[in-house]
């Protein structure tokens, strides 16, 4: 077990890097990098939701894209109807939570095995994709918002200060808003994992039967964790929709689900920093890949996934940590050998 | 009356399509407990090999019934040898790796064939019931599904090969002590599952069209059918196909195909809440 000092140092380091990024990037980097980072912050929040439910809860879900998209769509529909974002924010976090709780009830109280669970969440995501893709007709309107099928919903109003629509948040302020949200999500999840609830969740990952025999209702805890992860994903979707001021059914497609999993696998399962690093690094990589025309992006994403599962299953951050520790511990003994 | 007959044929053909495109998955998941998320891509490769074979002038039926299953079986065997083999017993890693393969194969096909839908004209023409016409090809699909189920039963139950396969899945150590190589049985079983998927992809291609991303349309329904069916491979896939296919087609008839798919999924989730082990976890428990 790691000493508490290291834990505190790690938290301080993450906080410092986060704050420095928020302060320095607008000063030093060109505007387009700042806008790109805003997008990757929303992806990193999405990655955190899977990192939490899968890495700590041991529940593998393909459904984080569903909650991401559901959050985005809810925000869009309510913000267009109300022309004001306060209620839209609340609803965009609440509706995915309710949906996750209902879905979670069916899955966890039915005691589906983890693999069945993965398949069900996958099917739900695909279903949203198909369903929203077929909402192009005029009858698919919710108030003033037309769902628009595969064409999506354009011109979504930006966030504004509560009750004051004249003071809305522009693209450059959005950088700070989503950056702060990302940091808050990270520290929030760290705090949550330190509580009694968080330790039971990790306990379920380690040995579900034992936790159950200790008298905890595993089904309830799992449903709760699933719901929390859904809220985190919805927060990401909210940020994404604001960055884009547009949303379409693509958020529900297999590619999105694939990317979330790749961020977590590449960054490191069972950590919270890793998936953030994975989301931001692969975000920049995807932009590079998008500029070349020779290979389809899916081909490269698929290859990365297969290679990581077969060769580096623990991910970049845990691997680096292990290599550093080994190097640290090997250093004195090496000196010793030279002396002897 | 005519309408009822047509609806009945439509329900039967939906059920048969479910049987066809789930059967390959049922073999690979049911016998080997491997979650193959590249299943949809195996179907897609079956459809594309039919398309290419027809273009170079091969007879449609030869291409559909011989070339597609053979080609996809080879792809399946390669997949098993190169990737899946290293991950037996690690269900989650298999799921992720086969999903990576699925993206990879879709990517390759998009690079070569472009992201455009190609059609294969439906053979066999159509027939009339009263004032309504229906495609004769649907009867072919119903026949193929029955043939797949029947031959699956005969092979598993009455052939030496079926016995070896079932024994190996049940207890690989015992089987290898009796002189069977489990590794070879796994490869062949995976190949057969892939061949069934290739066949299904080719048989359904004239109705669905051919597209690099077409696998996505099947993967969800195929998994729901196999999981909803439960432990027993043939009885499970058959009964789940009948249940979900009927629900899907009847709801589709009264509303739209999207609502039909929603109904299929919702009924599957409810079914798994009531019967977490699938249909054959509760009924027909001693069947295959």
Q: Which of A102, A115, A262, A269 is best to mutate for the B interface (most B CBs within 10 A)?
A: A115
Confidence of residue A181 (pLDDT cuts 50, 70, 90): very high
Subunit contact A258:B99, Cβ cutoff 8 A: yes
Query: Tell me, what's the pLDDT at A293?
Result: 63
Nearest chain B residue to A116 by CA: give it.
B227
What sections of B89-230 are H helices per DSSP?
91-113, 137-158, 160-170, 172-177, 182-208, 215-229
Give the pLDDT confidence of B233-247 residue by residue, as tens digits: 888 888 999 999 999
What sign has the CA pseudo-torsion B119, B125, B130, B131? Answer: positive
Question: In the predicted model, what is the mean pLDDT of residues A155-160?
Answer: 82
Task: Report d(CA A114, CA A309) in Å as an integer.
Answer: 18
Mean pLDDT of chain A, nearest integer: 86
Chain B residues lying within 8 Å of A150, measured CB to CB? none
A172: pLDDT strictly greater than 90: no
Query: With an 8 Å Cβ cutoff, is B102 touching chain A?
Result: yes
Q: Which residue has the higher pLDDT, A262 or A98?
A: A98
Mean pLDDT of chain B, nearest integer: 87
Task: Report d(CA B149, CA A117) in Å as an integer.
Answer: 27
Subunit contact A127:B97, Cβ cutoff 8 A: no
By mean pLDDT, which of A317-321, B64-68, B263-267 is the weakest? A317-321
CB A110 within 8 A of CB A275: no
Q: Which residue has the higher pLDDT, A276 or B287?
A: A276
Supply B180's token pair: 């069977």
Query: With an 8 Å Cβ cutoff, is B220 touching chain A?
Result: yes
Query: With an 8 Å Cβ cutoff, is B108 touching chain A?
Result: yes
Chain B residues lying within 8 Å of A104, measured CB to CB? none
Distances (CA, A) of B107 to A260, A305, B11, B62, B244: 18, 13, 34, 28, 31
Subunit contact A115:B92, Cβ cutoff 8 A: yes
Give the pLDDT confidence of A44-72 residue by residue, as tens digits: 999 999 999 999 999 989 889 999 999 99
Query: With an 8 Å Cβ cutoff, is B78 touching chain A?
Result: no
Query: Tell me, what's the pLDDT at A282?
Result: 85
Beta bridge partners of A153: A247
A1: pLDDT strictly greater than 50: no
Query: Tell me, what's the pLDDT at A336?
Result: 52
Listed residue (B108, B50, B45, B53) closest to B75, CA to CA: B45
A337: pLDDT strictly greater than 60: no
Query: Tell me, what's the pLDDT at A339?
Result: 44
Task: Report d(CA B206, CA B185) in Å as an integer.
Answer: 33
Listed residue (A84, A234, A93) closest to A169, CA to CA: A84
Question: In the predicted model, what is the mean pLDDT of residues B264-268?
Answer: 85
A164: pLDDT strictly greater than 80: no
A332: pLDDT strictly greater than 80: no
Which residue in B91, B97, B216 is closest to A254 by CB distance? Answer: B216
Query: Tell me, what's the pLDDT at A216?
Result: 94
Subunit contact B108:A305, Cβ cutoff 8 A: no
Query: With an 8 Å Cβ cutoff, is B91 touching chain A?
Result: yes
Give the pLDDT confidence of A182-215 residue by residue, as tens digits: 999 999 999 999 999 999 999 999 999 999 999 9
Nearest chain A residue to B93 by CA: give it.
A309
- A–B CB contacts, 8 A cutoff, strictly below: 124
Question: In the predicted model, what is the mean pLDDT of residues A84-89?
Answer: 87
Subunit contact B220:A106, Cβ cutoff 8 A: no
Question: In the predicted model, what is the mean pLDDT of residues B182-189?
Answer: 88
Task: Specify the pTM.
Answer: 0.82
Question: In the predicted model, what is the mean pLDDT of residues B218-226?
Answer: 87
B65: pLDDT strictly greater than 60: yes
B39: pLDDT strictly greater than 50: yes
Distance from CA of B215 to the nearest CA of A (A): 11
Distance from CA of A208 to the nearest CA of B (A): 17
CB A65 within 8 A of CB A100: no
Which top CATH class is B2-120+130-281?
A: mainly alpha
Tokens 């918002």 -> residue: A145
Subunit contact A305:B256, Cβ cutoff 8 A: no
Subunit contact A106:B110, Cβ cutoff 8 A: no
Subunit contact A309:B96, Cβ cutoff 8 A: yes
Chain B residues lying within 8 Å of A112, measured CB to CB? 272, 276
Distance from CA of A100 to the nearest CA of B (A): 14
Query: Tell me, what's the pLDDT at B286?
Result: 66
């Amino acid at each position: 077990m790691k000493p508490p000092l290291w834990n505190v140092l790690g938290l301080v380091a993450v906080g410092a890097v986060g704050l420095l990024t928020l302060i320095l990037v607008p000063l030093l980097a060109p505007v387009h990098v700042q806008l790109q980072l805003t997008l990757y912050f929303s992806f990193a929040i999405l990655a955190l939701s899977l990192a939490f439910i899968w890495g700590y809860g041991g529940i593998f879900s393909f459904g984080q894209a569903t909650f991401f998209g559901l959050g985005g769509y809810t925000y869009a529909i309510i913000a267009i109807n109300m022309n004001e974002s306060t209620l839209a924010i609340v609803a965009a976090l609440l509706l995915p939570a309710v949906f996750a709780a209902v879905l979670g009830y069916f899955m966890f109280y039915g005691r589906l095995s983890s693999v069945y669970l993965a398949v069900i969440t996958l099917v739900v995501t695909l279903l949203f994709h198909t369903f929203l893709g077929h909402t192009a007709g005029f009858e698919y309107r919710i108030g003033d918002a037309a769902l628009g099928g595969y064409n999506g919903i354009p011109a979504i109003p930006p966030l504004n200060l509560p009750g004051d629509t004249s003071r809305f948040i522009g693209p450059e302020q959005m950088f700070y808003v989503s950056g702060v949200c990302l940091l808050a999500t990270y520290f929030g999840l760290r705090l949550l994992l330190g509580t009694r609830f968080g330790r039971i969740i990790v306990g379920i990952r380690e040995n579900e039967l034992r936790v159950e025999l200790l008298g905890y209702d595993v089904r309830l805890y799992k449903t709760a964790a699933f719901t929390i992860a859904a809220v985190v994903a919805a927060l990401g979707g909210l940020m994404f929709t604001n960055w884009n001021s547009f949303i379409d059914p693509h958020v529900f497609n297999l590619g999105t689900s694939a990317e979330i999993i790749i961020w977590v696998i590449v960054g490191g399962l069972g950590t919270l920093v890793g998936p953030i690093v994975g989301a931001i690094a692969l975000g920049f990589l995807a932009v590079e890949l998008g500029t070349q025309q020779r290979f389809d992006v899916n081909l490269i994403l698929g290859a990365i996934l297969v290679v990581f599962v077969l060769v580096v299953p623990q991910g970049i951050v845990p691997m680096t940590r292990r290599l550093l520790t080994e190097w640290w511990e090997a250093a004195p003994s090496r000196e010793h050998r030279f002396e002897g | 009356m005519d309408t009822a007959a047509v609806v009945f044929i439509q329900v039967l053909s939906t059920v048969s399509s479910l049987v066809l495109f789930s059967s390959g998955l049922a073999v690979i998941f049911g016998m080997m407990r491997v979650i193959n998320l590249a299943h949809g891509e195996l179907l897609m490769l079956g459809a594309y090999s039919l398309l290419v074979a027809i273009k170079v002038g091969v007879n449609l039926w030869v291409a559909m019934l011989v070339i597609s299953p053979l080609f996809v079986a080879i792809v399946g065997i390669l997949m098993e040898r190169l990737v899946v083999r290293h991950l037996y017993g690690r269900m989650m890693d298999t799921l992720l790796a086969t999903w990576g393969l699925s993206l990879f194969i879709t990517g390759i096909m998009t690079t070569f064939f472009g992201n455009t839908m190609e059609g294969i004209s439906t053979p066999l023409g159509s027939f009339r019931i009263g004032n309504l016409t229906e495609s004769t090809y649907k009867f072919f699909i119903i026949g193929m599904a029955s043939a797949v189920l029947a031959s699956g039963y005969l092979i598993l139950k009455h052939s030496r090969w079926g016995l070896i396969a079932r024994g190996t899945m049940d207890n690989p150590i015992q089987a290898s002590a009796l002189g069977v190589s489990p590794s070879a049985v796994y490869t062949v079983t995976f190949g057969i599952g892939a061949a069934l998927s290739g066949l299904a992809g080719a048989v359904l291609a004239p109705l669905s069209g051919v597209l690099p991303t077409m696998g996505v349309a099947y993967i969800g329904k195929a998994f729901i059918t196999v999981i909803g069916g439960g432990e027993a491979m043939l009885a499970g896939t058959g009964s789940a196909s009948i249940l979900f296919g009927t629900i899907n087609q009847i709801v589709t008839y009264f509303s739209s195909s999207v609502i039909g798919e929603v109904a299929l999924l919702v009924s599957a989730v409810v079914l798994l809440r009531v019967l977490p082990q699938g249909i054959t976890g509760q009924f027909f428990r001693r069947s295959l």
